[in-house]
Amino acid sequence: MLFGASMSSLTMKRHYANTTLVYQRGVKLFVSSTPSMLRLRIKRLVMAIMAALFVLVVLRASIGSSGSGHTYVPNSEPAGFQDLAGSHTVLEPLIIHKNMEPVPPEEEPRQTEKKPEKKTEVEKKMAKVDPAAPDDVMSMTQPNLLSNFKNPCWRETNGPISRVRCLPYFHLIGVDKSGTTDLWYRLSQHPDLVKPNAVLGKETHWWSWRRFGFDIWVNNARIQHFNEYLSAFDKPALQINSTTQASHGIPDYHQLVTGEGSPTVFWDMTGWNRIPQNNDKTMDTALLTPHCIHHLTPKAKFLIIFRNPTDRLYSDYLFLQLYRAHKKPLTAQSFHTDVQESLLMLKQCQDQHTLKECLFNKTLHMNIPVRIPVSFYAVYLKEWFKVFPRENFLILRNEDYSKDIRGHVEKVYNFLEFSKLPDQELNRIANMSRAYTRNKQHQAAGEMLGETRELLNNFHKDLNIDLAQLLQDDRFKWTDPVLK
């Protein structure tokens, strides 16, 4: 039985009345106090208040127990129990727009609570990051890379805890619908590569989209900050750090590497005006994605696989139409109509702006029916060559890759300085099924109309010549027969 349950109601009321009287007298004395008596009367007033509260609590308990005849038992479920699951703070996954390729279950980011971490060395300038503003990558402190690691990694220390953090050793930067997923699929078969925690185990789209709050048709999504990008490589960093071998004259050399393969990084630089250093710059003097990557990893390697821009454009159109909010029948005729509209939009833009101002304009990218801006390979490649030396790039053609997969995979392995694989293993990797083939809906659209191909070939002719001259390789004029 609770204390006070045996007290009569009359007794309780008397106690309450007496306590109230004491409280009222205490307040009156406090108001009329002289400074010499103030301290003593404060103590008495506090004691009176505590006594009044105690009596009120006991009275309430007594009334509750006498009314039911039972001792109070609290609810077995705390208040708000049904909402508890929704109150946890979890690590938000990478923003995946509806038009992105699906995330395989094994690659989805874990929904676990993220503990506060000490900022990494490259984040020293980010102490007062505005969550609504892109990170100032160019002002970050360059990491002190570990000399016995092939991959760009550094050690981060937080009190007694130390761990290794890593950025990509290489980037497969493009181009969309040119075989990047198939190439990555075969690259990931090599034991020297550890895939990041990203879409399809390769795509973060951070440098081109996520850090600006962009997607294909979006320019106001949540901005992802650098530490979120860096966390995509935390799992690879653990494996890289735990694997050593004697190599390069070093007994504990860390041979494994990680990379990423976001095909939009090569061409989508529409966030250039959100880079802080470009506030007072023009398009021709602006710092772009290559400058930002070079600032943190100046020795990064790059893989690019180009495809005949006319064929690439049709494949890209069919792929993206499946994810548009307002779907329309996929036909060769609808492609022809949208190509004509897109060419007109680009021309109208160029009537008032320079070519680069149009190609680097997010509004145009979001509204143009066919992604013709991607076709200007040479324009984008020149921006990369301004920052990184030519030897940091391995540039392939999709048409050649499709004819000789094994030869090209081996070429890529050599470029990345991966360990040699037995011929049997190379044959297995080369003979794997293609990562993507045209589905039934794409096949139902039929082949591109002849008049559309002629229109696009004429449009791309000078663009292809520019690329061939830049690379000093006539294969990139795409004058060879079309591959079916």
Q: If you average pLDDT over residues 364-387, what whole number do you get?
A: 97
- pLDDT (tens digit per residue) in 117-162: 444 444 444 434 566 789 999 999 999 999 999 999 999 998 899 9
SS3 call for 203: strand
pLDDT at 175 over 70: yes
Question: Taking the CB of residue 190, how many other CB atoms lie within 10 A of it?
Answer: 18
- Residue with the bigger pLDDT between 453 and 80: it is 453
Q: For residue 445, name the pLDDT band (cuts at 50, 70, 90).
A: confident
What phi and psi values does residue 116 have, to the nearest 5 degrees? Answer: -60, 140
Q: Residue 77 is encoded by which pair of tokens?
A: 């479920």
Q: What is the mean pLDDT of the chain?
A: 81
What phi and psi values does residue 453 have, to the nearest 5 degrees? Answer: -60, -40
Cβ atoms of residues 432 and 445 within 8 Å? no
Share of the chain above pLDDT 90, in %: 64
Ranking 19-28, 132-141, 193-202, 364-373 by mean pLDDT, the lowest is 19-28
- pLDDT (tens digit per residue) in 223-255: 999 999 999 999 999 999 999 988 878 889 999
Q: If you average pLDDT over residues 44-66, what whole number do you get?
A: 56
Which pLDDT score, from 0 to 100, does residue 451 have? 98
Q: For residue 396, name the pLDDT band (cuts at 50, 70, 90).
A: very high
Cα four-point dihedral sign 293, 294, 297, 302: positive
What pTM was estimated for this model as a whole? 0.74
Cβ atoms of residues 210 and 96 within 8 Å? no
DSSP 434-452: PS----HHHHHT-SPPHHH
pLDDT at 464 over 90: yes
Q: Residue 219 is encoded by which pair of tokens?
A: 């320019």
